[in-house]
Structures are given as C-alpha cells and as structure tokens.
Amino acid sequence: MMETKTPKVNEVNEFLEIASDFEDPLEVIRESLSNSYDAGAESVTISIKSRPDGSKIVIEDDGQGMSESDLESFFDLGNSTKNDPEIDSIGYKGHGTKIFYKSEKIVVDSARDGTNIHAEMDRPWEKLNNRTLPEYEVAKRTTTSDGTRIEVTGFKSGRGFSPESLTYNKIEHYLKWKTLAGSTKYHFHPDEFREMEIVVELDDEIDDSQDKLVTNNKLEFPSEQLNPGDGQYPESRMCKHYGPHTIDVEAENGDTTQLEIVGMVGGKETRDELPTYGRHSTQFGIWLAKDHIKVERLNEAISHDNEFIHFFFIANSQDIELSANREKIRNKSSAIYQAIEEDLNYFLSKIAADPWFKDYLQQRRVAELNRKAKSQQKSIEEREAIVTERTRFEPSNQTEVMLGLERSNRQGAKPTITVEDFDLGADVNALVEQNDRLYGCSVHQELTDHFEADKPLESISKIVCWEIGDQDKLREYARNGYHGGSVEFDLENNRIIYRNGTEYTVHVVEVSSRFE
C-alpha cells in the first residue's frame, strides 16, 4: 500500500540560511531603499550608529505604511506581497527584510490610513541560533501621518559594517552602484519615475567628515565634455553620454525582451566625479541590470582592444533572473541571456567605432606622446648640462667609444684606426682598419668590462676601450686565470697575452690616451 508524505521544511534553518545569505551588511540599506520606494515614499532617512553591542540602524520613510499582511510579509519568509512583477516594485521574493534578523531587537512602526501598527521582536538572531523561531508582538494605535520607521538594534555587523570601515564615501558608492539610488529608470520612463530623496546619517564616531549624505534615486552621469581640455591629460575630463537606447532583443527560441541601455565614456577625471570609492577597474565597464539596478558586469561585451575602464554602461532587462541576494544572474544559460549578450556586444561595437571615441583614444595617445617628448626634452636638457660642464669628451657607452676613436683620428692621433663596421650586439663588436688591415674588436668603456662581460679573447684582435679601468681587477684575472687559460696584461706595450694551449695576443686601444 502506498503512503503519501509531505516534505518538511525546517523553518528555523531556513531563516538562518536566508539571513546568512546576505553577506554584505550594507545590503540592509539596499533592502530598505527598495521597500521604501515600493511604499511610494518621497523621502527616506537611514541613520546608523555605532554601539558596543552592534550597530543601531534606523530607517524612516514617508511612504504608505504597512498593512497587517504587509507586516506579516516583513517578518515571514517567502511570503512577499509584491508577487506581481507588473507592479512597479523591486523586491518580490520576501527574502530581503530577513537580514534584519541578524540583530538584538527589531522595532517596526508603520502607519497608514490613520492607524499605526507597532511590532517588536526581541533577540531574533540569538533565538534562531538556539533553534527557536522568534516571535513578535503587535499593537495598534491611531495616528495622523503615514510612514514607516524600522529600528534595528544590535545589528550583527560584519567587517563591511564596522565603524572603522564605514564612511559616507563608501556608502555613497554602495548606494549608486548597488541600490536603487543608482537607478537608471528615469532615463527610460520619466513619466513613471518617482523621485525619492535618500538621506544617510552616520554617527560622528563612524564618520564625522560631513553631517549627512543627501542623494536621490537617479544615476546621474558627469556632464558631457566632448572636446579635450588643457594640460598634460587633456582627455581626462572628456565625456560623452550615450542613450537612452531601447533595443528589442529576440532569442533563437523566440523569447523576447527589451534591453534598455544608457551610459557614458569618459576619462579618469570624469569618472572620479562619480562616487567611485576605490579602483575604477572593479566599478566601470558594462553592467547588466534588473529593475534598473546594476547586478553584474559583462565586460566581455567590449572587444578586448578597447579597455572597459573607459566605459560605464548600464543595460537593463527585466528578463534576467537574479539569485536571492540579487548579487548574481542565474539564467546565464538561457537563450534570452545569450541574445542579450549578443545584442549588447553589437551595440557596444558601435560605441567603440564612434569617431568621438576614436578621437578620445587619440587624444590619450597624443597626450602620452607629448608627455614622453617632454620627459625626453628634460633628459636632453640634463644631457646638455653634462656636456657643457665636462672639460673634455667622455663617452658614456660603447657607441660613444667608437665616436671617440674616430674623433682621435681627426685630431691626428697615430696610428689611424678607422671603424669600418659596428654591431653592438655581437661578441666581436667592430671591424676596424689599421694600416690596410681589418681587425675584429671588442668595444668597451673600460677594459675591465670585457672580462666582466665574460667575453672570449680568442676571437678578437683588439679591445677598444676608453680607459683601462680598475687595474686591480685585471690583476685578479691575471692571478686566477680566465676561461681556463692564463692571461697576462702587458699594458705598457698595450697588449694582453692569453694562453690556453695556444697563445693569443690581443692589442688594447685605450682611446682616451690617444688625445694626450
């Protein structure tokens, strides 16, 4: 006989799991903003205070407060009231608010239509970890204004939320890159778009560099500047906006979506006008977005010879699917995602071919060449100073030793030794002519260089050097032998005698002495 069984859910574990899924505590802010926006708020204030037993976070908005069932959804798991994706709302999984469970206490006051619902939950995180499902108490009273206030005490801050690492700068970057504060919706749907003021207040102990941060829910690009500026980096403040463009995408299986693309190309100074916080390489490029909130980058959409760092594009599609914590796209193997990738690639190939972009790259290149020329000019000036200050010609490399040799000929030095062939990279650097005969030479600034370079003696007839160098070094070679043979420096007669079974004589031409 067959028996019917129902799969069980361990509710406590589920809550623990979901709350833990939100790795970055800044996600509290993201969830709050999405909720406030969904409640139709025009203004939301988030204040964060550092406390010894964890952070205290207060989120307050003027949107329509929660109904009783909304409040249940707030505390329940997987019971979102925002299940209709057609409605202009952002979260609809019912997971987001569960991040608040990582705290000592949650107090919610939410007012609508003259009634305020007050709810309190004590020690949720501790209870969950003790395998108990935390409960909350609800009370109602009358009120005159709408709005919601959520107070989370003793929030278990991870590293990202600890007072020493949290700053206005970091939060602003997070807001504009990861939350609806960086929404690109107003570019595409100005009629549907509702502007929301976002205020963040940090305890002075956390960051006292400003009173508060005030922004809105729009990603605004730095102003356009199509022409290069002055100075060493003329391209640095160049900026061009692209879009908004809406592209109809059709996948091979017939699925369709709309891709809403807006973006800019800009130099470093332009990009610095955005709250970047940190390295541009992790923030710029091509972002895929859902609900007009950036999710993941797809820098491969730009061909490799165009560095993605100059680009900041957001391509939104409501048909990309997100993981529970909104950090990843999970339908990458679907036909529609592939089609999005393909069409985005095509669109960006047009940007990369835009004459303005080419001009921008050209400005960069020319500026770089100018900087190089300037530094070369500087090095010319330095070299000029050396030439002017010295009392006589002094070679600083092997080629100049050769020029010195020719110069000594012109000034009447005897015997005349002319350079017929010179190859800096070869063991035998030069062929010189003396009394109608050619000799293979090794050329050095100092005679000792030949031995330090470990070059052979058998294959050359002469070593041409500017000076002899450290004679004690030569004596050491004479004492210890060289390349398995013995070497004798007869410098009075300008010669080296090398014996390794055969005897070789190498003539030394000390060029400096030819000027005496």
Partner 1 sequence: MVGHEVIGGGDYDEYFDGIMYSVGSLTDYNISRERYEDYISEPVKNREGFENFNGTLFLDSGGFKFLGGHGLDGSNFEVEIDQEKVYEIQDKMGGDILVNLDRPIAPSDDYDARVEKARQTAENITEFLDLSDGTRSARFLTLHGYNYSMLDTFLNEIDKIVGASRVHDEFDGIALGSLVPMKDNKTNLIDAIQDCREILRDWKFDDLPLHVLGISSTAIPLLAAVGADSFDSSSYLHSAINGKYATSLVSTKSLSEVDFSHCNCPVCSNDELVYRMQGNARYQKDVLGPVAMHNLIIQKREVAKIRDCIRSPGTEALVDYLEHTLGDHKSLRRFTHRVVNESLGGYF
Buried b (16+ CB within 10 A) or exposed e, 223-241: eebeebeeeebbbbbbbbb
Residue 345 or 500 having the CB closest to partner 1: 345
Residue 362 or 397 having the CB closest to partner 1: 362
Among 350, 371, 372, 374, binds partner 1 (CB under 8 A): 350
| Contact indicator for 157, 164 with CB cutoff of 8 Å | no
- Does 386 bind partner 1 (CB under 8 A)? Our answer is no
Q: Hunting for tokens 């109809």 — which residue is that? A: 248
C-alpha torsion sign, points 407, 412, 417, 418: positive
Contacting range for partner 1; rule: CB under 8 A; set: 200-208, 292-300, 351-359, 457-465: 351-359
> Shortest gap between Cβ of 250 and partner 1 (angstroms)?
12
Among 353, 386, 387, 424, binds partner 1 (CB under 8 A): 353
Sketch the per residue contact string, 327 through 346, with partner 1: x for CB under 8 A, - otherwise: -------------------x
| Contact indicator for 417, 430 with CB cutoff of 8 Å | no
| Contact indicator for 93, 330 with CB cutoff of 8 Å | no
> Shortest gap between Cβ of 246 and partner 1 (angstroms)?
15
Residue 13 or 349 having the CB closest to partner 1: 349
**Residues in CB range of 179: below 8 A, 6 or more apart:** 29, 30, 33, 34, 293
The DSSP 8-state label assigned to residue 485 in this structure reads B
> Shortest gap between Cβ of 183 and partner 1 (angstroms)?
23
Q: What one-character-per-residue DSSP string does 87-100 give?
A: SS-S--SS-GGGGG
**Residues in CB range of 516: below 8 A, 6 or more apart:** none
- Does 354 bind partner 1 (CB under 8 A)? Our answer is yes
Among 92, 356, 422, 504, binds partner 1 (CB under 8 A): 356
Count of residues that interact with partner 1, criterion CB under 8 A: 11
> Shortest gap between Cβ of 358 and partner 1 (angstroms)?
8
Among 349, 377, 396, 471, binds partner 1 (CB under 8 A): 349
Contacting range for partner 1; rule: CB under 8 A; set: 154-162, 350-358, 425-433, 444-452: 350-358
Beta bridge partners of 265: 240, 311
Q: How many CB atoms lie within 10 A of CB 454?
A: 8
| Joined tokens for residue 159 | 């590293």
Sketch the per residue contact string, 215 through 244, with partner 1: x for CB under 8 A, - otherwise: -------------------------x-x--
Binding residues vs partner 1 (CB under 8 A): 240, 242, 346, 349-356
